[in-house]
Amino acid sequence: MARVRLMVQRVAATTIPALIHGESGTGKELIARLLHAHSPWRSGPFVQVNCPALPASLVESELFGYERGAFTGAATPKPGRVEMADGGTLFLDEIGDFALDLQAKLLQLLQDGHFARIGAHAEQHVRARVVCASNRDLARDVERGQFRRDLYYRINAVVIELPPLRERAEDIPALTQYFLRQYEAKFQRSAPPLSAAAQQALRDYAWPGNIRQLQNVIKRLVILGTEDVIAHELASRSDDELGFDLDRASDMSLKEITRAAVDKLEKIVIARSLRQNNWNRRRVSRSLKISYRALLYKIKKFELPAKRGTAPAEDAD
């Protein structure tokens, strides 16, 4: 993320298009807003076009606007998002979802700043910084004929890659505290202090939903006032992996259910820590702050698979 911040600082001052690439929930909109806030266009508007949120039939009219009588129901002229972004930044979120015919019109906009409203006879000109984002592999889409090659090379003059949260676990404590402060202020209540086990579980979880998922977990933590929501979130995402369903535990006592849930969480944490430390069990024991013997016992207890071809030196420093 330090490299991302440095790139944002360097790219923001320019006028060239930028492509932000990353998985869903990694904060692509936030980076686009940072580019705008530090750009020569910061005094102008920041206009976002979220393609997946718009019906396919409305994307073009929302983007370019229309004139009166352009189609049934067009009683009055309406400016599009492109026109509204004049003098500012136009953020095209998930540009990979745009249809090919619309991509051709976007290409013209990027080339010379010209566009036309639907039903208009004359073109208009806008001056706006264009920032695009996608969670798709656009280069692969180009090879498959699903994305225009000329548009791809136009928008990827600078590519900002956002790593998924599972690859930047060191950021999780800071993000957690940020969201805690945000939602404690919003809901006017204090969350309980997080235990060491909960903090470690947050760091070791894979976060398939990335920052957005972490944000929602912390929101529920503040609202409900118990860190049980963390264990529930991590456990509910891993029922298939661990083969245990709390909803089917009606014949178990509360003590048994709690023990099973704790075992499930421990298995998740240990399995992920083993992968993150390349199966160096001594490093895992230090990172989890448990004895090496206790770690070996839990690996055997949870029947975690051993890495094939493990050499005796694997556990050396």
- Residue 101, token pair as written in the block: 């015919």
User: What pLDDT shows up at residue 179?
Assistant: 94
Tell me the mean pLDDT in the region 288-303: 87
Better-predicted residue by pLDDT, 279 or 82? 82
pLDDT digits (tens, 9 = 90+) for 119-135: 888 899 999 999 999 99
Q: How far is Cα 265 from Cα 232, in angstroms, rounded to an integer? A: 9
Separation in Å, CA 43 to CA 37, 128, 133: 8, 12, 22
- The yes-or-no verdict on residue 32 having pLDDT over 60 is yes
User: What pLDDT shows up at residue 60?
Assistant: 86
Q: How far is Cα 14 from Cα 306, in angstroms, rounded to an integer? A: 51
- The yes-or-no verdict on residue 314 having pLDDT over 50 is no
Confidence label for 229 from pLDDT (cuts 50, 70 and 90) = confident
Confidence label for 160 from pLDDT (cuts 50, 70 and 90) = very high
Q: How far is Cα 237 from Cα 258, in angstroms, rounded to an integer? A: 17
User: What pLDDT shows up at residue 126?
Assistant: 92
Better-predicted residue by pLDDT, 239 or 205? 205
User: What pLDDT shows up at residue 125?
Assistant: 92
User: What pLDDT shows up at residue 176?
Assistant: 94
**Per CATH, which fold does 2-163 belong to?**
Rossmann fold (3.40.50)
Confidence label for 305 from pLDDT (cuts 50, 70 and 90) = low
Q: What is the pTM of this model?
A: 0.68
Task: Give burial (CB, 10 Å; 0-12/13-18/19+) of 260.
Answer: middle
Average pLDDT score over the chain: 85
Q: What is the DSSP letter of 73?
A: T
pLDDT digits (tens, 9 = 90+) for 140-158: 999 999 999 999 999 988 9
Query: Going along the chain, which residue ranges are E strands?
Result: 18-21, 46-50, 65-66, 78-79, 89-93, 114-115, 124-125, 129-134, 158-161
Residues of the chain with CATH 3.40.50.300: 2-163
